[in-house]
Structure 1
Amino acid sequence: MSAAPKAWARRPKGLTPHIFLALAVLISVFPFFWTIVMATNTTQDIYHSPPKMTFGSHLMENIRHVLTSIDFFGSMLNTVIVACVTTVLVLLIDSLAAFTFAKFEFPGRKLLFGALLGFMMLPLQLGALPQFIIMSHLGWVGTLKALIPPALANAFGIFWLRQYISGGVPDELLDAARMDGCGFLRQYWNVVLPMIRPAMSFLGIYAFVGAWNDYIWPLIALTDPTHLTLQVALAQLNVGHSTDYSMVMAGVLMASIPLVVVFALFARGFIAGATEGAVRG
């Protein structure tokens, strides 16, 4: 008889985390739900009081308005090219730099890593003017090439992979590789990369989403209407005295689909990398 009250008393404590998790999920999902609702209705329905919270039947009409207002698929192709190239180069450069910081002693290592941490605290907008001057001297302003170099040395990516390699790649394996005659690149390719795949998956998604959603630098660097990225092209929908929010939300919904697909393909590695620190020890 005494066990039942004790079990009942413990039940609210067990339910509390689930309640908070359910609330967090609802809060996180609601913007996506509201985007779909706005994309499937008209702007008049959005301004209705109380707002309409059910799906409408105007999605295809709003999509047609998007496709006739901007070069959506051309801008998406530009964004895919920039995001894919940037992600591959970020993974390569950041992993090489992180491996060097984590496993090799060289003069000024702590000073350089401290400077790297300092750069992480600076707003990216501070580098817009120097970047534009450099790209102008190279003759890349107005082309997609101007979008790739500024994003290659990702300070967060180097920090993230350095921490992962320091704790996840044993020095004994690298010593054994050196005894077998492996140089720096051979150690990197055959020993380090296979062991940091979860962290690389996490950083790959992070870099891809960052390049896909980048708006400020493409807005500054791109001057040719045929070379616009998707975020800059979508911003052209929000002009004039009266904004068609249903059309804008339809464009946002279409632009989000590739991100959902990429995340679904790499979700396992993404989640493994994101939770690695919680299960290690």
Structure 2
Amino acid sequence: MDKADKYKRILIYVFMAILTLMSIFPFWVVLVNATRSAEQIQQGLSIFPGSNLGYNWNVLMEKQFDIFGGFKNSFIISACSTVLSIYFSAMAAYGLVAYKFKGRKILYAGILGLVMIPTQISMIGFYQFVSKMNLLNNYIPLILPAIASPATIFFFKQYLETIYHPDLPDSARLDGAGEIKIFHRIILPLMTPAMATMSIFAFVSSWNNFLMPLILINDTDKYTLPMLIQLLKTDMYRTEFGSMYLGISLSIAPLLIMYFILSKYIIRGVTAGGIKG
């Protein structure tokens, strides 16, 4: 390795280290502020933890911050919606790639069109629809729509086109396998890296979803964690920023766990693709 290549590698490592620090820094600031008092937070930014973690926790408890109930409610919604989104989007993408039927291109163009439409546009109509079905204050409207996820279908289709080969399902059909069995036994294992990637995005999006649950859920026992955090409003004389940051820190912990669990599958898929190449 000559000096030029060595310097290039060093620059790449330095650049990646800077990007890593920039990504970690906001999370670190939130965690640090969760251990500081309101006065310390108002004085300015700090990268060193404080000694007010216990006090901030007590403030949360005094405000009846039901952390475990919020975790449970958010997890139920996020886990169920993620499973539905990943499974049915993978099935739809497989259908678009594997089967040559009339109207396939038009259908795919419609899916791309839905990706470009902001969800906020349909909120009023969706609320009226849910209200007429007597599903307000229920988790079903927050979970079931995940079956139709245009962005996930688009991603899966693009990924499947790079790895799909007609000989795989054809061989399985010769052995007597049905279409559903082919999808479960052959296609889904091939799509594991893509499914892991989109599972992270789907879970994070559902976990952080605040506006739609706020519109549909009225019972405080069914509040998700982001909804509980917005309840951390203090009296007119004092704002407990430390307890608010602690609530935010608790809400992002499951997202980090979700990423660490699924990241190995993404790395494994990238490594396998590099070996095949």
TM-score normalised by structure 1 residue count: 0.90
Contact 1:75 1:233 in 2 (8 A): yes
Deviation at 1:12, TM superposition (A): 3.5
Cα distance in structure 2, aligned partners of 1:216 and 1:275:
38
Cα distance in structure 1, aligned partners of 2:178 and 2:60:
53
Cα distance in structure 2, aligned partners of 1:279 and 1:217:
43
Residues 1:154 and 1:271: Cα distance change in structure 2 (over 3 Å):
farther
Larger displacement relative to structure 2 (129-138 or 38-47): 129-138
Q: What is the aligned counterpart of 1:264 among 247, 253, 260?
A: 260
Say yes or no: does 1:253 pair with 2:249: yes
3-state DSSP of counterpart to 1:82: helix
Q: Which runs of 4+ in 1 moved over 6 A?
A: 274-280
Identity of aligned residues (%): 29
Larger displacement relative to structure 2 (38-47 or 264-273): 264-273
In the other structure, the counterpart of 1:59 is: 53
Say yes or no: does 1:206 pair with 2:206: no
Task: In structure 2, list runs of 5 or more residues that go unmatched.
Answer: none
Number of equivalenced pairs: 275
Deviation at 1:11, TM superposition (A): 4.2
Residues 1:237 and 1:162: Cα distance change in structure 2 (over 3 Å):
same
3-state DSSP of counterpart to 1:54: coil
Q: Deviations over 1:220-248 (max 9, x none)?
A: 11111111111111111146545321111
Q: Deviations over 1:99-156 (max 9, x none)?
A: 1011101121101111111111121211211211121111111122221123321111
Cα distance in structure 1, aligned partners of 2:98 and 2:126:
31
Q: What is the aligned counterpart of 2:183 among 181, 184, 188?
A: 188
Deviation at 1:274, TM superposition (A): 7.1
In the other structure, the counterpart of 1:3 is: none
Cα distance in structure 1, aligned partners of 2:127 and 2:153:
24
Cα distance in structure 2, aligned partners of 1:275 and 1:221:
43
Q: What is the aligned counterpart of 2:169 among 167, 174, 194?
A: 174
Cα distance in structure 2, aligned partners of 1:129 and 1:87:
24
After superposition, the CA RMSD in angstroms is: 2.2
In the other structure, the counterpart of 1:217 is: 212
Aligned AA (1:125): Q
Residues 1:10 and 1:192: Cα distance change in structure 2 (over 3 Å):
closer
5 Å-filtered alignment, 1:27-176, equals 27-49=22-44, 51-69=45-63, 70-176=65-171
Q: Deviations over 1:232-270 (max 9, x none)?
A: 111111465453211111001111122222222222113
Deviation at 1:183, TM superposition (A): 2.5
